[in-house]
Chain A
């Protein structure tokens, strides 16, 4: 295994190499703390071990009888007090800087889903772009097999978050189901993504390159499998990427009024299922443990198609089955059609995107 540039190094001993001012400051603070603490530690325990060595009974040391000294007590209350004030001063400065999310050049909304990240560019160059970023599925398979390899093991995603270098990027976090946390060590950021609420943080990357992080708040069974990959591009490259991405997205956008044939829609649904549903319901649709099977499920087999549509749009059981409204109408229609016609489910029913659109309120 080699070091992963922008990600962890082999047997790394300290913070990731900083790529933002804030991360640099954190680095500096940490060194300061480490040095002060080490010095105090050595000083304190030098005294203790000296005493342990010199004042042993076995060398015939006789116990002294002093038990109290107000002066000494005051001194050793005051000194630590001064030390912590000394530590707090620079920390305050960094903290205030790190919370200042005003005047951003680019604002991206980051949404945590079980178990992937959604990126929406909501202000600045690239406004309107929106996509989902998921762990590369071969990585998950390697994990299950217990035989991982590669320097970017568990960090490889399909669509990285792309940002321009040297620009202030404001990251607004939120979540769809449970709390996640958006963390990129090289940038010195970590911000919880809380369902129903927005929070924010910011970074200004000073180098181009690839930088990695992972979800840092327990969010269920696939918590370890929702990495973050940020690609920092030069201004020109970023502009080019935005143009290309816009094209790609408009080409991919499905027309919700299109009427599909069952086979095509089911094929499309198979992909949606693999990317979103299989993590819980399993590829064989049987579910596992507390997770209900899709194969043979009454709701799936029901002739009233609106029931299953409602479950996908709104979730069920307090979000144990999360809402999937972030998927497009076509994707939802496709995956429903797929589940209605796969495994032992042979209903022959087809759900058109228009029906999903109608069911959204």
Chain B
């Protein structure tokens, strides 16, 4: 931008032509091509999927590296900063809506479809079915057709509660890190960032353990009727978001160690923090609606 010709940060930074977008799209092409084939039993699909993923991640790495370079190179002025804030806000909004779809499914199943299946009217089709949500009545399966193996539900104790504590703590450590950054205490920031990342990793391990326990000991599977479906899809997508959020924090920490960010300007940090808090809030919803109720 020509305003930048005077050696300052440009009023608005518009990047050069870039090969990253098209490359990233090519990567995703192999991902969806492979995924669609693999789940239909074609083995080559798996290779295509992994190839695409690796390709895509490589491109993303280069892309972000370039963006980080621009940021550190002082290309991103106040306007860009604001743009990033808006975009992160709207992105999180889209994520909220995505989870909304699955929470709705849970609500609909619990308070509508399962009761309807067991209603007097429906006795015409499923005379023996007693509608009961599995977490309320031991041994219930939500399966009118009786095609589902018996399973036990996942209560809040203790794994999910431990996980709640982990995530809440991580929210605190992250805030401490943020304050430290604002006060220019970089080493404290980094320390607390690492703690946050570790808490995130621990969360994932606990959830992995929880899944193994549910699958193996409780016989709770994706195929355990609508209960299993909503349980795994909600917690699974959440877990995936924890993974992504944790990776974001990890990269931010590494950047902090490289000396990136200043005490005034650190939207990269804040964006990741927003995301982490969002993941946190979703978890609280899950903790109450999926595990407690």
Contacts and interface: CB of A to CB of B under 8 A. Distances in A.
Interface in B94-133: 113, 116-117, 121-122, 124-126
B268 interface: no
Identify whether the interface residues of A are mostly helix, strand, loop, or mixed: strand
B122 to A, nearest CB: 6
A139 interface: no
A104 interface: no
Contacts of A109: 124
A122 interface: yes
B144 interface: yes
A63 interface: no
Interface string B230-272: 0000000000000000000000000000000000000000000
Contacts, number: 20
A196 B124 contact: no
Interface string A143-182: 0000000000000000000000000000010100000000
Interface range for A:
under 10
Identify whether the interface residues of B are mostly helix, strand, loop, or mixed: helix
Interface string A200-223: 100000000000000000000000
Contacts of B122: 197-198
B124 A122 contact: yes
B144 A198 contact: no
A24 B122 CA distance: 31
Nearest to B123: A198
Interface in B150-183: none
A99 to B, nearest CB: 14
A123 B122 CA distance: 15
Contacts of B126: 196
A197 B117 contact: yes
Interface in A290-339: none
Contacts of B117: 196-197
A42 B22 CA distance: 52
13 contacts: A109-B124, A122-B124, A172-B121, A174-B124, A174-B125, A196-B125, A196-B126, A196-B144, A197-B122, A197-B125, A198-B121, A198-B124, A198-B125
Top 6 A-B pairs ranked by shortest CB distance? A198-B121, A198-B122, A198-B124, A174-B125, A198-B125, A197-B116
